[in-house]
């Protein structure tokens, strides 16, 4: 089994491209960045030389890797950087608050209508968050 110990990324060493196995990372002169000779992607070195981050135009979807000496391992985004838990939390909290309130205020046959309104109001902010952070 390969070692999972993370090594510092050096601009004097050669590395394979984390996106494609056939590409090689070439240091870009006068910067702390690498460019792939095959896929033309640009990567910057972050976290004091321990993380290689792909420059991307879609901010929430940046990809990052750490070098183990034999290959790259993907750096998973923290929970706070992921939109899905945030959207689920919004749905959960709003349904917990609005659904009992709607059921309490409902009388007789309008209980289904109030329940539908509460669910729609709970899903709407989560849908807005998802549309904001989607690709």
Angle at 34 between CA 42 and CA 37, to 5 degrees: 75
Segment 108-115 shows an average pLDDT of 66
- Dihedral angle of Cα 124, 90, 132, 73, to the nearest 10 degrees: -150
Helix (H) or strand (E) holding 120: helix 111-133
Segment 72-90 shows an average pLDDT of 70
Instruction: Tell me the C-alpha distance between 77 and 42, whole Å.
Output: 19
Indicate the SS3 state at residue 113. helix
pTM above 0.95, yes or no: no
* pLDDT digit string, tens, across residues 8-49: 898 888 899 998 778 899 999 888 899 998 888 899 988 788
What confidence score (pLDDT) does residue 43 get? Answer: 92
Please tell me what DSSP assigns to residue 22: S
Instruction: Tell me the C-alpha distance between 91 and 72, whole Å.
Output: 36
In the chain, where the domains are located: 15-76, 80-133
């Amino acid at each position: 089994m390969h070692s999972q110990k993370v090594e510092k990324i050096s601009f004097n060493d050669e590395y394979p491209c984390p996106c494609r196995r056939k590409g090689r990372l070439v240091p870009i002169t006068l910067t702390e960045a690498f460019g792939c000779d095959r896929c033309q992607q640009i990567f910057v070195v972050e976290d004091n030389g321990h993380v290689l981050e792909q420059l991307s135009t879609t901010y929430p979807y940046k990809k990052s890797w750490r070098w183990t000496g034999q290959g790259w391992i993907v750096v998973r985004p923290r929970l706070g950087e992921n939109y899905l838990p945030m959207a689920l939390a919004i749905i959960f909290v709003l349904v917990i608050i609005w659904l009992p309130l709607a059921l309490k205020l409902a009388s007789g046959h309008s209980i289904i209508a109030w329940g539908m309104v509460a669910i729609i109001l709970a899903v709407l902010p989560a849908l807005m968050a998802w549309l904001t952070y989607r690709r």
